[in-house]
C-alpha cells in the first residue's frame, strides 16, 4: 500500500510523512526527489531541465521502483511529493492504480499566507524558489484529479497525520512522546530536508 502526500511547498508533506512513519509499523518514507537530484547531477547543464519531473526517466524510475516496493515490501510506503501535472500524476499514481496496487492519495491544501508563513520557518522567504511555486501549485492541485483534499491551515501535523490515517482506515500506534521529544523529532526532519535550489 502507498500513501501519497501531495501539496504545495510548505504544506507539511514531509513532516506529515514522518509523523505517519513514526506511528505506522512497518512503514517506509520513499523520497522521489532523490532520483531527481541524481538526474540533475548526471545531465550536462546545457540540456538540463529546470524541473526534474519533466524528465520522462524520473517518472518511469519512480513508477518502477514504487511498483517493485509495493509488490515486495509488506509495510506501508509513504511518499511526500508535489505533483501538479495531471499527466505526470497518471504516469505514476494512475498507472500503479490501474495495475491493481492500492494508492491512497491526499493533497494538503493551505492558503498562500499559511504556506508563506510555513516556508519562513525553514528560512525560505517570499522570493525563494518554493514560494514562487505557490500560485502554480495551489491552482493546479485544486483540480478534482488531486483529491482527496485536506485543508490544513488550522491543523497540526499530528491532526493531519491522524486525518490521513482515518481516511485510509489505518490504525496508528499511540504517540507516547512528550512535547519536547515531538519538537526535537520535527526539528530533525526539517533540518534533514532543507533543500538548496
Is 102 a member of any domain?
yes
Judge residue 126's burial from the number of C-beta atoms within 10 Å of its C-beta, 0-12 exposed, 13-18 middle, 19 or more buried: exposed
* pLDDT per residue as tens digits for the range 39-66: 989 999 999 988 899 999 999 999 999 9
How many angstroms separate the first and last alpha carbons of the chain?
31
Query: Do the domain assignments include residue 39?
Result: yes
Burial group, residue 159, by CB count within 10 angstroms (0-12, 13-18, 19+): middle
Is residue 78 assigned to a domain?
yes
* 111: Cα separation from own chain's centroid: 17
pLDDT confidence of residue 180: 86
The pLDDT assigned to 146 comes to 97
pLDDT digit string, tens, across residues 132-187? 999 999 999 999 999 999 999 999 999 999 999 999 999 999 998 888 888 888 87
| Whole-number percent of the chain with pLDDT over 70 | 98
Q: Residue 48 CA to chain centroid, in angstroms?
A: 23
**pLDDT of res. 92:** 98
Q: What are phi and psi of 29, to 5 degrees?
A: -95, 120
Which CATH number does the domain housing residue 43 bear?
Answer: 3.40.50.300
Question: CA of 18: how far to CAs of 53, 180, 183, in Å?
Answer: 23, 17, 13
Q: Which residue range(s) make up the domain with 110?
A: 2-192
Establish if 197 belongs to a structural domain.
no
Is the pLDDT reported for residue 195 higher than 80? no
Q: How confident is the model at residue 126 (pLDDT cuts 50, 70, 90)?
A: confident
User: What is the torsion angle, in degrees rounded to the nearest 10, for the CA atoms of residue 76, residue 179, residue 8 and residue 45?
Assistant: -80
What is the per-residue DSSP string for 153-182?
TT--HHHHHHHHHHHTT-PPPP----HHHH
Quick one: average pLDDT of 75-92? Answer: 98
Residue 13 forms part of a structural domain: yes
For residue 21, being part of any structural domain is answered with yes
Domain count, the chain: 1
- Higher per-residue confidence, 6 vs 48: 6
Amino acid at each position: 500500500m502507498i500513501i501519497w502526500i501531495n501539496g504545495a511547498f510548505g504544506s507539511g508533506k514531509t513532516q506529515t510523512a514522518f509523523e505517519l512513519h513514526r506511528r505506522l509499523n512497518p512503514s517506509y518514507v520513499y523520497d522521489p526527489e532523490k532520483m531527481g537530484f541524481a538526474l540533475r547531477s548526471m545531465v550536462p547543464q546545457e540540456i538540463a531541465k529546470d524541473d526534474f519531473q519533466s524528465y520522462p526517466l524520473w517518472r518511469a524510475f519512480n513508477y518502477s521502483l514504487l511498483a517493485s516496493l509495493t509488490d515486495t515490501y509488506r509495510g506501508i510506503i509513504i511518499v511526500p511529493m508535489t505533483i501538479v501535472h495531471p499527466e505526470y500524476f497518471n504516469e505514476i499514481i494512475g498507472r500503479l492504480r490501474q495495475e491493481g496496487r492500492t494508492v491512497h492519495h491526499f493533497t494538503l491544501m493551505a492558503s498562500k499566507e499559511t504556506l508563506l508563513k510555513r516556508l519562513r520557518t525553514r528560512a525560505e522567504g517570499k522570493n525563494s524558489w518554493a514560494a514562487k511555486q505557490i500560485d502554480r501549485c495551489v491552482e493546479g492541485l485544486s483540480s478534482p484529479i488531486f483529491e482527496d483534499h485536506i485543508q490544513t491551515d488550522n491543523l497540526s501535523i499530528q491532526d493531519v497525520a491522524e486525518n490521513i490515517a482515518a481516511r485510509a482506515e489505518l490504525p496508528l500506534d499511540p504517540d507516547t512522546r512528550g512535547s519536547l521529544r515531538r519538537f526535537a523529532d520535527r526539528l530533525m526532519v526539517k533540518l534533514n530536508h532543507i533543500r538548496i535550489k
